[in-house]
Chain A
Amino acid sequence: MTGTAVDLIWLAPALALLGFVANGALVFVRPTAKTLVSVIGAGVLLAAFAVSIAVVSSFDADAPVVFRYWSWIPVGTLQVDFAFQVDQLSAVMLLVVTGVGSLIHLFSIGYMKEDPGYARYFAYLNLFVFFMLVLVLGASFPVMFVGWEGVGLCSYLLIGFWFSEQANANAGRKAFIMNRIGDFGFMVAMFIIFWTTGSLDFGTVFSHAPTALVAGGSTVTAITLFLFLGCTGKSAQIPLYTWLPDAMAGPTPVSALIHAATMVTAGVYLVARCNVLFAMAPVSSAVVAGVGALTALFAATIALKQWDIKKVLAYSTISQLGYMFLGVGTGAISAGIFHLTTHAFFKALLFLGSGSVIFAMHRAYHHTHAHEDAQDMRNMGGLSRYMPWTTGLMWIATLAIAGVPPLAGFFSKDEILTAAFARGSTQPVWLVFWALALVAALLTAFYMTRLMLYTFHGPNRTGEKEQAHLHEAPWSMTGPLVVLGVLSAAGGLLNVPTLYHGSAWLHHWLEPVTQPSAALLPEAHLASGSEWLLVGVAVATAVIGIVGAWRLLKPEGLVAARSAPEERGFARVLRDKWYVDEIYDALIVRPLVWLSREVLWEQVDQRVIDGATVNGVARGARALGWANRWLQTGQVGMYVAAFVVGVLLVLWRAIG
Chain B
Amino acid sequence: MLLSPALAISAVLFTLGVAGVLFRRNVIVIFMCVELMLNAVNLTFVALAQGLGVGGQVFVFFVMAVAAAEAAVGLAIILAVYRHKQSVSLQNMNLLKDG
Contacts and interface: CB of A to CB of B under 8 A. Distances in A.
Contacts of B95: 634
B93 interface: yes
A633 B95 CA distance: 10
Contacts of B93: 636
B22 interface: yes
B97 A633 contact: yes
A644 B18 CA distance: 8
Contact of A634 (B21, B22, B25, B96): B96
A569 B97 CA distance: 83
A622 B11 CA distance: 44
B86 interface: no
B44 to A, nearest CB: 15
A641 interface: yes
A634 to B, nearest CB: 2
Interface string A608-639: 00000000000000000000000011111100
Nearest to B96: A634
Contact of A640 (B21, B96, B97): B21
Kindly name the residue among A634, A641, A644 whose own CB sees the greatest number of chain B CB atoms within 10 A.
Answer: A634
A633 B90 CA distance: 13
A640 B25 CA distance: 12
B4 interface: no
Main SS at interface, chain A = helix
Nearest to A632: B97
Interface in B19-58: 21-22, 25
A283 B97 CA distance: 81
Contacts of A640: 21-22
Nearest to B19: A644
B97 A634 contact: yes
B90 A637 contact: yes
A636 B22 contact: no
A637 B97 contact: no
Contact of B96 (A632, A637, A641, A644): A632
A635 B96 CA distance: 8
A327 B45 CA distance: 106
Contacts of B21: 640, 644
Contacts of B91: 635
A333 to B, nearest CB: 84
Contacts of B90: 635-637
A297 B91 CA distance: 96
B94 A635 contact: yes
B94 A637 contact: no
Contacts of A644: 18, 21-22
Given A635-B90, A636-B90, A641 B22 contact: yes
Contacts of A637: 22, 25, 90
Contacts of B25: 637
Nearest to A648: B18
A637 B21 CA distance: 8
A268 to B, nearest CB: 77
Interface in B61-99: 90-91, 93-97
Contacts of A632: 96-97
B38 to A, nearest CB: 15
Kindly name the residue among A635, A637, A644 whose own CB sees the greatest number of chain B CB atoms within 10 A.
Answer: A637
8 tightest A-B contacts by CB? Answer: A634-B97, A634-B94, A634-B96, A636-B90, A640-B21, A641-B22, A637-B90, A633-B97
23 contacts: A632-B96, A632-B97, A633-B94, A633-B97, A634-B94, A634-B95, A634-B96, A634-B97, A635-B90, A635-B91, A635-B94, A635-B97, A636-B90, A636-B93, A637-B22, A637-B25, A637-B90, A640-B21, A640-B22, A641-B22, A644-B18, A644-B21, A644-B22
Given A634-B95, A635-B97, A637-B90, 19 more contacts: A632-B96, A632-B97, A633-B94, A633-B97, A634-B94, A634-B96, A634-B97, A635-B90, A635-B94, A636-B90, A636-B93, A637-B22, A637-B25, A640-B21, A640-B22, A641-B22, A644-B18, A644-B21, A644-B22
